[in-house]
Amino acid sequence: MNLTQLLKTASLVMSLLLLACGEQEEPKTVAKMIPQEIKEFSTQVTLSGVINPDDHHAPGGKVYAFKNTGDLVAEAVLINTTRYKLNIPPHTSLPLILRFIPEHQDANALVAVVVDPLITVYDINAYTTAIAKKAESLGGYTRQYIVI
C-alpha cells in the first residue's frame, strides 16, 4: 500500500468513526407551548365591530359567536349594514369564534377570534380570517397565535 492509499483509507476510517460516534441531536423546538389560563367574560358583554367583505356585495348576512367546542353563544342579523353587535352571556369562556356568513352564497365567509376578555371591538375581514386559519394550523386559537 502506498502513502496515498494509506491516507485515503485513514481519512475514510476517521470519517466513519466520527459519523458513528457522533452525538445525535434532539430535534429543536421552534416555540415552547405556554400554558394558557382559561379566560372568560365575567359579566355580560356586548361585542361589536364592522364586517369588511373583500368582495363588493351589498351588506347583509349573519354573525355568529361560537365557543371553541362549536356551541352557539350568540347571533346577529345584518340587514343593509356592515356593523354588528353580539350580546355575550356572563361566564362565557374564551376563545370565541366570530363567523360572518353573507347572505350572498357566492360571497366568502369571514372569521375573527376573541381571545381577550378586555377587548370588545372586533372587525371581521379577510385579514382576521387569514390569522384565524393560520392559528388553527399552528395548534389552535390561543393568544400566542392570534395576537400579532
pLDDT at 8: 52
pLDDT in tens, 103-144: 887 778 999 999 999 999 999 999 999 999 998 888 888 877
Per-residue pLDDT of 17-64, as tens digits, reads 444 454 444 444 444 444 556 789 999 999 999 998 876 666 789 999
Average pLDDT over residues 10-17: 49
Collapsed DSSP state (helix, strand, coil) of residue 102: strand
Kindly calculate the radius of gyration of the chain based on its CA atoms and give it in whole angstroms: 27
60-67/72-79 β-pairing: antiparallel
pLDDT of residue 98: 97
pLDDT at 19: 43
Q: Whole-model pTM above 0.85?
A: no
Phi and psi torsions of 75, nearest 5°:
-150, 155
Whether the CB-CB separation of 8 and 16 falls below 8 Å is answered with no
- As given in the structure block, the three cell numbers for residue 120 are 370588545
Burial class (CB in 10 A: 0-12, 13-18, 19+), 51: buried
Over residues 6-15, mean pLDDT: 50
DSSP string spanning 11-74?
HHHHHHHHHHHSPPPPPPPSSPPPPPPP-EESS-EEEEEEEE-SS-PPSEEEEEEEETTS-EEE
Amino acid present at 116: D
Lowest mean per-residue pLDDT among 11-20, 89-98, 138-147: 11-20
